[in-house]
Amino acid sequence: MEIIRKVSVILIFVALVSFVGGFANAEHNAKVNINTATVEELMSLKGIGEKKAESIVEHREEFGSFATIDDLKGVKGVGDKIFNKIKDQIVVE
């Protein structure tokens, strides 16, 4: 009976770890809305540092919301190379 209890505790522990790990991974996989993202949120994207993030926000404030994610390439410093790194991580809503 003691073995069954230990096995049950281990299985519950594994299930909890899997659940928490899946939740953390889902949060990591969330896309960044480039029309509402802060500088800090934009900096979470691969290849986007503080200066580029600030440029994106300034461009958005000056010209309005992005209609498509491709419009991001109109921001100074965001070319095809950077865009291709982040296109799967961004969204326009």
Domain boundaries, the chain: 1-30, 32-91
86: buried, middle or exposed (CB in 10 Å: 19+, 13-18, 0-12)?
Answer: buried
Predicted confidence (pLDDT) per residue in 8-55, tens digit: 667 676 666 565 555 544 455 799 999 999 999 999 999 999 999 999
What pTM, to 2 d.p., does this model score? 0.69
Average the pLDDT over 64-89 and give the result.
Answer: 96
Q: Give residue 4's pLDDT band: very low, low, confident or very high (50, 70, 90).
A: confident
The encoded tokens of residue 73 equal 């390439």
Q: Which amino acid is at 73?
A: K
Identify the CATH assignment for 32-91 out of 1.10.150.320, 3.30.70.270, 1.20.120.80, 2.60.40.10: 1.10.150.320
**How far is 72 from 67, CA to CA, in rounded Å?**
9
